[in-house]
Structure 1
Amino acid sequence: MNRVFDYIRTRLLPGRQRERRSLAALFSHFQRVLELNNRTLTTIASMHSKLGGGYIFDLQYLRSSKQYMVDTARELLDAFDAMAPGKYPELYASFRDIRSKLESELERRPILPDVMVIPFEDIGPKDMDAVGAKNTRLGIIAKTSSVTVPSGFAVTTSAYLLFMEHNGLGETIKGYEEAWRAGNLPAKDASDTIQALILAGTIPTRLRRALNRESDALRRKLDDKDVRFAVRSSAWGEDGALSFAGQYDSYLNVTSEGLLDAYKKVLASTFSPSAMEYRREYDFKPDEVYMAVSVQGMVQARTSGVMYSLSPVNPKMNCIDIAGVWGLGAPVVSGKVKVDRFAVSRDSGHAVLSESIAEKPLAQYGQPGGSVEMEPVPEDLQAVPSLSSEEIHLLAVTAMRLEQYFKKPQDIEYAFDQDGALVVLQARPLRIAVCDDAQSPELSDALKAYPVLLSGEGDVGQQGVGAGPVFVAWEGRDLETFPDGALLVAHVSSPQYASILHRASGVVTDIGSPLGHMATIAREYRVPSLLNASRATMVLQEGEMVTLDAEQKTVYQGLVKELKLHDFMCDRMEETYEYRLLRRMLKLIEPLNLFDPTAGNFTPQGCQTLHDIARFIHEKSVEILTDIPNASAAGEACPGGRLELPVPLDLVVLDIGGGLAPECAGGLHGLRTRRTIRLDQVESTTLHSFVNGMTLDGVWQSTPVPVDFSSFMSSMTRTFSTDTTGAQRIGQNLAVISNQYLHLSLKLGYHFTMIDCYESVDGVRNVVQFRFAGGVTGVTRRSRRAKFLSNVLKTYDFSVTVKEDLVVARAKGRVAQDVHWLMYILGVVVAYTRQLDVSMVNDAQVLEHCEEFERIVNQAISN
């Protein structure tokens, strides 16, 4: 029904454009637009604040918020349409599209672009749902940073859906997942069945052609007929607020012939037991399971590793953690090998604070047939640092650069190729929590009563205290038997334990690194973790009750109740389905894509969010109000007259509501009148402020200024755009006023000034806008005056844009007192700059006039 009304309004009532509208009615619609625009922005801010973690909300809140936003946007459209009847029908089309997408999100039917692959260089933030966070970040880095990433492309979530639909797997997989969630089927059985179905599936022709086309293009780009690929997951949720570290499979050194199979294997890993458990822990719904895939040109690495731009173990050290090994970096993140460790200062210069060089007898390399294998490292390199001092410094600089760009500490995988070039393989947010709970003397005394089983060994993955019976995860042990609250003890820190990690009270491993996947997941779950503790599986016995103090690298025998206070560590932000859905909804509500009103995308069709619609409407409604003088010239009656002034400015005032005293009632038809209005009959406080500034003693220059012939001829041959001429079209200096609004169109000599000011009861909607262009001299002197104007206006907190001699300035959200002050300053500006371009004979005079202007204003204040 709404669409029918939209069609009637925008298509079947074109005659509305010819309706005569009173200026008072037009201004009333404008006020309504401002009110609804303010309501829109307030609601957006309120919805965004719910992501801060301090609120609990449900689906009903999201539905009601969505409806409120949509209803407000619709009212805003209708109020704007009353100002410009039928002029922007495409705006309703953009609104309907956004509304439909919001409804689809709430109905768990996200709208995805109908494209199979996207090259990295074409990926932007808006493509997050189509390609996943990992691919999006690589695309952003490739486009906006000097940091090198692998060449490659993303296989989209639409391709994933096409594969599932083509093979008829959607309902089948849903059935197995429901049986598992209900406890009727073990996770491993459900996983094995689902993965087998995916691996047996066929790739649709359209997708196969897209993969072959892009892989051929990548081969040509790299000029490598035998190019190898790294095929990695980039699922929804991965590498965003959650990491999903190690939950999905990656395949390295893949040949062209093996690309399609590797793609299917990554899709199948969507339903690994640990990934299924991870999603259940964070309440991922079936409709949130979308797997995009990253296909990268394989980096044949000499050295690889992981770095954290801020140490998650001890943030107060203000250092960057770097781990490195020879060859490929997969063994580093899997926690299966010992690594070189470097702590590097985050401060300029990036001094190495500490280092630990491991014995590295084996390294992983790509094989000619397409596999990767561990190979012996030459003896003379086994104990040699895998990174030079120059490479460590470059890594530190890169880490800080990415952190600065993404505004958060980063977890970065990197490689140096055979030529020594650094390549960033992926970057994701690093989750860090700081707990300042220091041990008291009483606690130290209490700890003396408990035998110490391990002390001073290992690396901290996550600080905190955990207590429970020991569960030793020996090779091949059934993890389904892991009891809730047990302490996980393992030889290596493998991400396979992610499926039980949320149930563990703590983790201790013989081998591992705080930079591995399991440590990342432990931090997400806030599970205290001590890794690389060497003797853990030999010292800690199955079923024994122990207490882990990860911060102190100590394991006590028995349950230390005093240490259980550390369970009250830093709270984590809720990662619920409702939070994730709100984020997706806000993508259609909050982002602003329309910045510059002169840009090509500043159109109804360019509105991609409700914020865009509000922005477009606000800008265009101000333009419509600015055009009021032409509506007045058409012959409509309006109270007003010529304003008596102590300076020779022939200014006609038109009142559209409450701008003049009651005795001035009575219409003026157009501008043909000799009626005179005194300043004391003007109720508009903003016009009073402007006139006070313009008539400041000594500012208005009345004596003639000599003009050279070339400047005069230049001014005679110039043309002016319609948005800067203002009163030129009606041959008059004009002020359109109300009790809240002021529009000024001034033609002073050969330049034109337009000023718009709206003052409301709240400061949020207040706006002062200034446009200036023209002059009698050549472009150089006019540009000097424009620079002077820019410098002066910026001093008073205007945002300013300058294009040759055109100056556009705006100040928004000011309180009434500030609005009056700004209008006073603009009055001084108009008087001071009347013939200023003529005297601008050199660049030094720009600064001289800025100083003189400041002196005049300061003197007026002191008087």
Structure 2
Amino acid sequence: MALQKITSWAERIFSPDKVVLRRFNMFQSLLREDRKCLKLITKLEEIHHRPIPTDWSRIAMLVQALSTATHRLIDCLVAMRPGTYDPLTHSHSRISADLTGLLPEPEIITSPPYALPLDKAWEHPQMLGGKALALSRIRKETRIPVQPGFVITTNAFHAFLEENNLQQVIARGLRGLNLQRPDRLRKISDSLQRAVMAGKVPDIVQTRILAAIQDVAGTDQSTVWAVRSSASAEDGEVSFAGQYATVLDVRQEDICEAYKTVLASKYAPRALTYRLHYGLDDNQTPMAVLVLPMIAPRASGVMYTMDPLDMCKGSCLVITAVPGLGTRLVDGSAVPDIFLISRNDPKHFLAKQPAPEEGSSGTGSQNAQRNTLCLDDAAATTLAEWGLELEALTGAPQDVEWAQDQMANLTILQSRPIHMPEDGTDPEALFHDQPQDTPAPSNHVAVLLEVGTPASVGISTGPVHHITGEGDISEIPSGSILVTPNIPPSLVHVVHNVKAVLAEHGSKASHFASVAREFGLPLVVGLGSLATTLAQGQTVTVDAYRGVVYDGEVRELLEWQEKQKSRPTFPFQRKMKPLMELISPLTLTDPASSSFAPESCRTYHDLVRFVHEKGTQEMFSLVEAKGRGLRSSKSLEADIPMVMQVLDLGGGLRESAQSVKTVRPEDFLSAPMQAVWSGLSDRDITWSKGLVHVDWERFDQVSGGIFSLKSSLLASYALVAANYAHLLLRFGYHFAVLDAMSGSRPEENHIQFRFKGGGGSPEKKIWRLAMIGRVLSRFNFRVEINEDMLEAKCMRLGHEATQLRLRVTGYLLGCTPLLDMVLESEDHALAMAEEMAKKWQNEGNKNE
């Protein structure tokens, strides 16, 4: 670090032009990385808040990309001022480590065992999935009958993927999933399922499957099999009920094809949708497969040891039964017989209800009911007793599949937890009927604006309140719909006070848009000058889902919004929350605060905000007050009596000016420099031809009249690039610094301005600053005046709006050099300010 500081100091002394060029290049890189970071943060916030359930591998990829971009962003700032910002790297490492802990990579094992008998499978729970593990435990720990069978392990699944080089194929497909585009979901699903079905089961896995079949069935090759999914996470904290395939009546020679069918069902549209809603990574749900001998049942069904609808207030078990295979029950194609049995006494039946006759309307008339039940009381009581035993074994209410063979023998096919949320909401219901757009209100509702871009969704109503810039933030009334020219980060101070924000300019990838999403504040950007058509105090309703503003209070939309707020959050959102707490919140809001420091950065957003602010400040102090060096600069010849040196940082001057020592204003290609010069040379400014504007204070100190007024030690400087300009302007006994970016990206555009000193009395210098401050405030600058120095800032406006403000600033610089000598009073100064503001507001209206 010490060597970096010494090298940096030496360069500033002996090669300042190289330092300036390198710092500018680093600043350009900083802005590119800043843009990447904000886009990535925006993407993650949209995924979280809307929500847009996405494959977890895409979340991990976006987080990693954000970590890398943020690290590069920090490197740019460190390179701009070596040795000053090193603590940022430590903050980044700390945040990244916390995020890594929330994005663990599951271990992938492709080695044996590949097939395990149910009697021994419980010894390897991590390879089984919930369904197979439950049956293995029942066989080991109870006398409840479960058929002998075997499990093809998750290790076999990973070996299958490796054998067929499917890992990257699947990863690429899953990263492109988007549940808001069903057509794309189906396309990706079809592609992945075809890839799995085209794969070959590894020879060693086939050998182990054949051996397991022989262990169960011996030499009897007539046995047919049920091949069922048993994925990790299935039948555990989440059910995946009915999401994966079951293949019945499988002959021995078809086992491997049925096995691939079950594996492929992992990528069926319904299974992908379900998994994404729960925020599970594909690697968290590897597929094990349960293989059992088929039963030809005379009855089968499902038992709930606790009524999931709680109609009995927790006092009964529910058994449903259908004749034959239970598939007709679980797929909803058959209506079952129903038994309600007391949990306290399984021999006590609270109710029995036969199913309607086949073909009846099911209206409930006695004539439509079957006369007999497909399950007798003794069998129902036995199932109830087993259910209570399974509940005691697992410690949770159970959803049990059962079957009764032709000899009336009962067996358990599956036992899994019943999912009964504490708030009574069925989590499966969350996955359906999710509205993507707000309803269209009645025809009588007037649309005032419909050109905006939603940046933070929501609906709100209230009276309109306009502000012209950051200086008005403290006067915003509570409960208003804020209309603002732009959305600087300082608006964070009003997120709890306003109902919604409508912005003429801005981007959903801006710092404040991120804050708005974090706090659920509706925000619409890009309204342009149309935002000014909303009357002050007018009641409006903002639909920030669509980017529309309606006249008056629209109750239909507000009621719709309340329904959305009352809906439980997705499991996906709950899993995203701890991640976003390390990414999205913006806690660094005041650059003037002592807490605005690298050590205070708690999130990636904090890091991005800090680096952008400090990077801009570094550019603002680009040229030292003495202006030493800059040997590559050129002299400016102009009608304005000003001594100025110009350094082209790239694209700031015409090509024809590159090979000469002197340039003219018409050689400027720099957009911000053209705007400033337009203001300086405005026809309403009268320049004294006999007075050369240089640094008179410096001249008094060092020259004694010995050297030329055109010396670089006294000159003003302009550093220019295509969309950038940095000016150090010396006017007699005062100076001004202007740093500006003006291009097609509003989020990068900025103007920073400092004005200090003067030759007049302290009182008159203050009047001049008041005049300058009043004009700049009229054009959305945030202005601070301390003693004889004014600092002003204007950020994130569109190109034309930024150009106008640069012309205003140039005009002020041209009008004010000697005003501190002639101003008569503060009122005189402010009256002049109003005239100047009116002139340029009219100019702005003409341009629009």
TM-score (structure 1 length as normaliser): 0.42
* Structure with the greater alpha carbon radius of gyration: 2
TM-score (structure 2 length as normaliser): 0.43
